[in-house]
A = this chain, B = another copy of it.
């Protein structure tokens, strides 16, 4: 209203990394986890056997297996190939470690000023997603000789880089959410009595896979887990599809992880087959209200704990506290679950523009034969928030809106 609002542009990814390296007295970072590569270079690996050396004072160097496809390498990135997949090379990883060592020597960096994360825990899967990434036993150990000992303070600061997304990254996460919405549309279209949970999940994953080739999408994969009727009451503990067939009156919950070109969406929908049974209807409505209240509260300079309480209080008001057994949300985008603070009771960390979080309250009540969760991916903006997972004009959104009001 007549006030000039000057908003600082968010720091670019390169600036964020530079600040991190400076603050932690690092001259280089060795990255080999798929989500680290994506964040540091925009490159999402195929095999999961690529490695990037990011220098504070020189251009990064990417090492890729000789079997790696080359058509999605970012333009301008220095790339070296190593003989992974060469029948005649017995130990390609030693070749890689030597090549990395040479680059570090050439750049005159000191071992104590090189950082890396040796663990593959909970990272994104590469495009070839049927196995854990193929870095062998002892690889991290060999690399360790090139870098400082893992240091909790540096690792925590590196993890912190995941939580402030740049405009380009937000676009990519938006695309993952658009693709996920195609999957959710298949979910709503398949909410028919007699279909098995697994059949509904298969239709969702299939719709997501078919997006490859459109809009610059070279990788699109969904993990759709569908739980119906009494099975939905387990959805706070685990998500999986069984052969159970949907029945009229069931609540049906879908947990949907979607990876598009390396960027992730994490969504949940709950809907009824026909009209929900009276015992479970209130579960759906309380979760809708709780989720809406938490989303409406999302804006900069509010604590994660406050957002959690907005959802948790609504559920408590219905006497269902003990059935909301998990956090209200987490960061998302470079992984199905990005590192960083959770949206949790008492969490004092503050929301900032550029963060993308899930808002996903749920209640799961075996005695009533059902459970419900609704999960969206919400961008914190200067003005408040933007729900990335509500796609305007989509049939799925029309259905969701209809369900919710």
Contacts and interface: CB of A to CB of B under 8 A. Distances in A.
A128 B127 CA distance: 17
B119 A123 contact: no
B237 A85 contact: yes
Interface stretch (A4-12, A194-202, A277-285, A378-386): A194-202
Contact of A132 (B125, B136, B137, B239): B125
A200 to B, nearest CB: 10
A110 to B, nearest CB: 24
Interface string A103-134: 00000000000000111111111011111111
Count chain B CB atoms within 10 A of each CB in A121, A197, A218, A337 and give the residue with the most: A121
A46 B205 contact: no
A143 B237 CA distance: 26
Interface residues of A, number: 73
A49 to B, nearest CB: 10
Nearest to A214: B243
A139 B121 CA distance: 9
27 contacts: A47-B238, A69-B237, A69-B240, A85-B237, A85-B326, A87-B327, A87-B345, A119-B137, A119-B139, A119-B140, A120-B120, A120-B132, A121-B134, A122-B133, A124-B132, A125-B130, A125-B131, A128-B238, A131-B335, A137-B150, A198-B211, A199-B209, A203-B206, A205-B206, A206-B206, A212-B241, A212-B243
Closest 6 A/B residue pairs (Cβ):
A213-B243, A198-B212, A202-B209, A130-B223, A202-B206, A130-B257
Given A119-B139, A121-B132, A132-B132, 9 more contacts: A68-B238, A85-B325, A121-B134, A122-B132, A122-B133, A129-B223, A202-B209, A209-B241, A213-B242
